[in-house]
Structure 1
Amino acid sequence: MNRQLALFAALALLPAMLGPLEAEARALVAPLCGGGAVSIPVAPDGPPGPVQGPCCAKGCHTGSSRKRLDRTQ
């Protein structure tokens, strides 16, 4: 493979390795058909309501209801 082509390929993958840069969104801007725009403010605190812990994200499994693998073979 050509050395310049390999360098170009490595440089092309650099943004994918770094990921998106962090940006703080303060408002959503929606363009209108007439040429104007509407700005919708975004609350920095997140959705309203009580703070929930990570327990709501996990599945509920008991040890007796799941199938067990037969490892005696």
Structure 2
Amino acid sequence: MENNERLITACIKDENDNITAKCIFFDTVENLIKELDDYIANELDLQNSEIYIDNQEIFSEDELKILTEKGYQFDQI
């Protein structure tokens, strides 16, 4: 892990209410979004999903806005 990397756990809920957790190290929200999008599309092969992220306190206000606009949620499942 590099000094500027952060760690989150994302819970991905599919259309059948199955939940998969993914831990991700990231340095920018853009890289986080790319990592999650790639994981959902390639590893899980999902079209529709809800994404819940813990540790929202590690994000700046601008980062939270970007993630919220993308549809990510910070409340509990």
Which TM-score band applies after superposition, normalised by the shorter structure?
under 0.3
TM-score by length of 1: 0.22
User: Over alpha carbons, which structure has the higher Rg?
Assistant: 1
